[in-house]
Amino acid sequence: MFKRILSLLLALSSLLSLRADEGMWPLTLLSKIQDKMQAQGLKLTAEEIYSINNSSAKDAVVRLMKNGRMFCSGEIISDKGLFLTNHHCGYDAIQSLATPQDNILTNGFWAKSMAEERPAGFQIGLLRKIEDVTKGVLEGTKISDPEADRAKIVAANLAKVKNALLESLGDDKKNYVIEVTSFYNGNQFLAMFYEVYRDIRLVGTPPENVGKFGGETDNWRWPRHTCDFSMFRIYANSDNKPADFAKNNTAFKPKHHFPVSLKGVKEGDYAMTMGYPGRTTRNTYSEGIVYLSKKERPMRVQLRRDIMDVYETHMKADKNVRLMYSSKLASIGNYWNKFNGEAKELSKPEIFAKRKNEEKAFENWVRQNNKTETYGTVTSLYDEAYAELNKFGLFPVYFQDGFQNSVPMVAAMRASGLLEMLKDKKSDKGIAMAAEYRAGIPEMYIEFNSEIEKQVLAVVFRHLLQDLNPEYLPKSLKELAEKAKNNYTLMAEIAWKKSMFSDTTKLKKFFAKPSAKGLEKDLLFAIVNEYLTVLRTDLGPKFTEINTKLDRANRLFLAAKMEMEPTVTMPPDANATMRLSYGTIKSYEGRDALKYNYYTTSKGISEKYIAGDFEFDAPDKLMTLVKNKDFGQYADPTDGDLHTCFLSDNDITGGNSGSPVINGNGELIGIAFDGNWEAIASDFGFMPSVQRTISVDIRYVLFIVDKIGGASNIISEITLKK
């Protein structure tokens, strides 16, 4: 249960009317907003965007998945299954294929034929249809039911509904994932049918200093000049159905692919995104704002920053270490930047005051409409839950941002399930699991540098001992701190010497002949295992109570809001399902006397360029092309320059990375890759005056493919609209 607290599904949305362009809209609501979209410039109908029986735009939007988890979005751009996503979305796949001898992460890669394309190691899901299953999931429940009783009924109903839906697919069910997802905090349930394709291959990627130009310095900032894209292809069997990787698989034939516009964009043009935003918490209670801004976010920021400092120091000194830790740094750094901005924005007094006023308005409605029996406990439930979170909420946070960013600690955590099995002398399950664990050691330690990991361990120890209630800290950790007199570097040195999890040779030797006693004696294992026990046993009941209160308050508040405003079409919070956002190409004022243009050009690449720099280097070939203004058909017709990125006022969040940005004709104009710093707290409330989506101009993407990659074969299979 403690893991659920990490997501913090807070609740209390604005009681003010929604703007027409606010919202990450489920496809099931498109008919209700079609007129508003068309008024802004959309030429398509809702049916042309989402149809079950006919080809529609949703058939060209892909959901990137690995080990059953969604992580990014993408778009199909040819009738041969070619799709685009962000460079940072394809980063893990590219890094895993790179070697010191063939460093495609640094140098880029372009397959000149399908035979040269390389297995990517992830899957994609194609949304085939959506079904409202609310009635079946909530059967036998009442709004006033105690949360624990209701949860049991809902869980049983969910399993029954999901199983029935899978069985309805017949033999095709092996190719599908069906997710039954909660909307409006448990007041609605929709079933998403994803056909999952497993043979995905890398087609092309720009050099890292193109795809990640600007690094963490530019992250979440405008103006941008990052060509954040990578290209992959979907493969299928002879029936165009999902299949495991095989040489005789052929290119997937999609129901729809996006044509690509070379016309460019201008301010006020219609812009639409379709993708898979992960989580928003637009329904955030005032005490939740305080907890996040004063405690949870600042602590995450400092812990991540300290780990990143260790990475960067070593990466700058050794190019092989840079290759090894690039993906880890990017993963930690992206949300370090976001959490840092959120902490600052959410600390503004006016945000707390606005929430408080909205809560008072809600309570007045409850009293005036005699709804106290149903909704009267909402605010007190929130107050109680956040009081407890302030005491214990950092324990799971530090597990996620500390323990799980240390390779030896993760390895020890994965071994924790073996302990009881090894103690059972009557069963061979422990020995079998140990053999399986031993076989996975090379993969667990594939990104492992002993000096880096030892220093990261010292960072984690310091934060645990300085920031958390010592009453609940592992006994082994406190004893180690006492022995080392709170010298965190020395603590890491001692733990390193006394643990087999710091050395793969020792680890393999132990797991060839494992024993429960040997595992328990290991210092790092003891620290990790005791911390897990604290989370599950000592604090588990507290987290269960907190989650129960939040779940009930969230559900009741949204039920009340829908009752308060029955005629309002309300976009639900993002929950990793496909959403559409509509708006326009738009500049903005970042602050007083600072107005940002809606697009950037190649001039900015030259202005930022620093030869050999960690973040602002660029290929010589690119700099020569920019200097000579050799842009070919990708130059903008109005100024003859190469436009690199642009802004729109679309409403997106994490998970939307790689989403198509589409014009009113349904043509691809860009790939969304970031939000802007001034609206970094937009997950907690829409910010129309400054909230912008940052996208790479599709013409810059094609310029890199063509002029830098020389991949005319790729260009030739794309439907270009001039």
Query: Which tokens sit at 110?
Result: 């372009």
**Confidence bin at 9 (pLDDT 50/70/90):** very low
pLDDT value of position 1: 41
Q: Is the peptide bond before 223 cis (omega within 30 degrees of 0)?
A: yes
**Confidence bin at 21 (pLDDT 50/70/90):** low
Evaluate whether 124 touches 154 at the Cβ level (below 8 Å): no
Q: What's the pLDDT tens digit per position in 55-101?
A: 999 999 999 999 889 999 999 999 999 999 999 999 999 999 999 99
Could you list the beta-strand ranges (E) of 98-226.
109-110, 118-119, 123-132, 176-183, 188-197, 199-205
Q: What's the pLDDT tens digit per position in 251-289?
A: 999 999 999 999 999 999 999 999 999 999 988 899 999
What is the share, in percent, of the chain residues with pLDDT greater than 90? 87
Q: Region 414-431: what's the mean pLDDT? A: 84
Q: Is the pLDDT of residue 19 over 70?
A: no
Annotated catalytic sites, by residue?
88, 228, 657
pLDDT value of position 330: 85
Alpha helices (runs of H) in 468-573, residue ranges in sequence order? 475-483, 488-497, 504-512, 516-521, 523-533, 540-564
pLDDT value of position 84: 98
Specify the range with the lowest mean pLDDT, choosing from 301-315, 353-367, 525-539, 636-650: 353-367
pTM attached to this predicted model: 0.87
Q: Is the dihedral of CA 279, 282, 288, 292 positive or negative?
A: positive
Q: Is the pLDDT of residue 14 over 60?
A: no
Q: Region 585-602: what's the mean pLDDT? A: 95
Evaluate whether 236 touches 81 at the Cβ level (below 8 Å): yes
**Confidence bin at 15 (pLDDT 50/70/90):** very low
Geometric angle at alpha carbon 597, from 596 and 598, rounded to 5°: 115
Question: Residue type for 377, please?
Answer: T
pLDDT value of position 604: 98
**Confidence bin at 131 (pLDDT 50/70/90):** very high
Question: Residue type for 599, please?
Answer: Y
Using the 8-state DSSP alphabet, how is residue 585 labeled? B
Q: Is the pLDDT of residue 637 over 50?
A: yes
249: number of CA atoms within 13 Å, CB side?
26
Which among 77, 68, 74 has a CA at the least distance from the CA of 88? 74
Q: What's the pLDDT tens digit per position in 163-209?
A: 999 999 999 999 999 999 999 999 999 999 999 999 999 999 999 99
**Confidence bin at 113 (pLDDT 50/70/90):** very high
pLDDT value of position 523: 97
Query: Which tokens sit at 437?
Result: 């664990």
Q: What's the pLDDT tens digit per position in 467-487?
A: 999 999 999 999 999 999 999
The secondary structure of 619-653 as a DSSP string is -HHHHHHHHTT--GGGS-TTTSS-EEEEEE-----
Burial grade of 406 (CB within 10 A; 0-12, 13-18, 19 or more)? buried
Q: Work out the mean pLDDT of the chain and round it to a whole number.
A: 93
Between CA 11 and CA 378 the distance in angstroms is 10
Burial grade of 641 (CB within 10 A; 0-12, 13-18, 19 or more)? middle
Q: Is the pLDDT of residue 2 over 50?
A: no
Q: What's the pLDDT tens digit per position in 33-44?
A: 999 999 999 999
What residue has token string 């405008």?
A: 222
Between CA 142 and CA 493 the distance in angstroms is 57
- Enumerate residues 6+ apart whose C-beta is below 8 A from 228: 86, 87, 88, 211, 212, 671, 673, 674, 696
Evaluate whether 264 touches 636 at the Cβ level (below 8 Å): yes
Q: What's the pLDDT tens digit per position in 535-584?
A: 999 999 999 999 999 999 999 999 999 998 889 899 999 999 999 999 99
Which among 703, 665, 659, 679 has a CA at the least distance from the CA of 586? 679
Evaluate whether 642 touches 636 at the Cβ level (below 8 Å): yes
CA distance readout (Å), 334 to 115, 282, 701: 34, 21, 22
Q: Region 111-119: what's the mean pLDDT? A: 98
Alpha helices (runs of H) in 271-318, residue ranges in sequence order? 286-291, 297-317
pLDDT value of position 367: 95
3-class secondary structure, 474 = coil
From the centroid of its chain, how far is CA 238?
Answer: 33
Q: Region 405-423: what's the mean pLDDT? A: 92
Query: Which tokens sit at 637?
Result: 């017709």
Question: Residue type for 502, please?
Answer: S
pLDDT value of position 68: 87
Q: Region 647-662: what's the mean pLDDT? A: 97
Which among 63, 93, 127 has a CA at the least distance from the CA of 201? 93
- Enumerate residues 6+ apart whose C-beta is below 8 A from 565: none
Q: Is the pLDDT of residue 435 over 50?
A: yes
